[in-house]
Amino acid sequence: MSYTFVSATILLILITDPIGNIPIFVNSLKYVSPERRPWVILREVLIAFVLLLSFMFVGEGFLRVMGLSQVSLQIGGGVILFLIALRMIFPSANGDATEELGEPLIVPLAIPAIAGPSALATVLLLVSQAPERRLEWIGALCVTMVVSAVVLVLAERIQRVGGARFVIALERLMGLVLVAVSIEMMLRGIKTFAGQLAGG
């Protein structure tokens, strides 16, 4: 599947799931003073951005060291996205949020809420498919982080104005879109693999 700057940005926003992260951030920051919360959120978004950006540069070497092919990454990435999408549509009864008594650092906000395994796999997939367009992927990642930062800084206000049901409905809608993206990714990977077998 060939991505454009816009489609890559949309995919990264769906994967990092800022809307779905609203309850996690609100719950984790409840013991942090209100004036301090925006700075904590921006710090966590920056940490996630640095991690994802570094993965864009070391990802190719990681693939070579592990002996992984682009096809296996595409199919595996599709499976991961599909599972993430299912969790967005059918969240667990217990939820993923853990209650922090102090100010959270890196875990659970930067990792895995923003820069989780699916986000790392996605940036790795983008770079492995078109390494010559790395600047585009970096731009898409920058836009994604800005969107995440804005949504999460406004998390309490969004939850208060829209209500919990609105947030849940929006996340499930994003999950449905992600299901379609993940299936398309798996089908493209399988088609490429079948073509390699036929050619071999």
What CA–CA distance (Å, rounded) separates 93 from 113?
18
pLDDT bracket for residue 200 (50, 70, 90): low
Where are the domains positioned within the chain? 5-199
pLDDT band at 62 (very low <50, low <70, confident <90, very high): confident
Quick check: 174 and 17 in contact, CB under 8 A?
yes
Asked if residue 117 has pLDDT above 80, the reply is no
- The pairs formed by 166-175 with CB atoms below 8 angstroms and a separation of 24 or more are 167/19, 167/22, 167/23, 168/91, 170/19, 171/17, 171/19, 171/20, 171/88, 171/91, 172/88, 172/89, 174/14, 174/17, 174/19, 174/20, 174/88, 175/85, 175/86, 175/87, 175/88, 175/89
When mean pLDDT is compared across 55-64, 109-118, 151-160, the lowest value belongs to 55-64
Q: Report the range out of 15-19, 40-44, 52-56, 194-198 with the highest average pLDDT.
A: 40-44
Q: What angle do CA 73, 74, 77 make, to 5 degrees?
A: 80
DSSP H/E element including 150: helix 134-153
Mean pLDDT over 180-186 rounds to 83
Sequential DSSP letters for 155-179: HHHHHHHHHHHHHHHHHHHHHHHHH
- Both tokens of 160, joined, read 């208060």
Closest CA to 147 of 56, 36, 48, 58: 48
| Higher-pLDDT residue of 100, 123 | 123
Share of the chain above pLDDT 70, in %: 94
- Average pLDDT of the residues of the chain: 85
Residues sharing a CB contact under 8 Å with residue 120, sequence separation 6 or more, in sequence order: 51, 52, 55
Q: Give me the mean pLDDT over the 84-94 stretch.
A: 75
97 confidence band (pLDDT: 50, 70, 90): very low
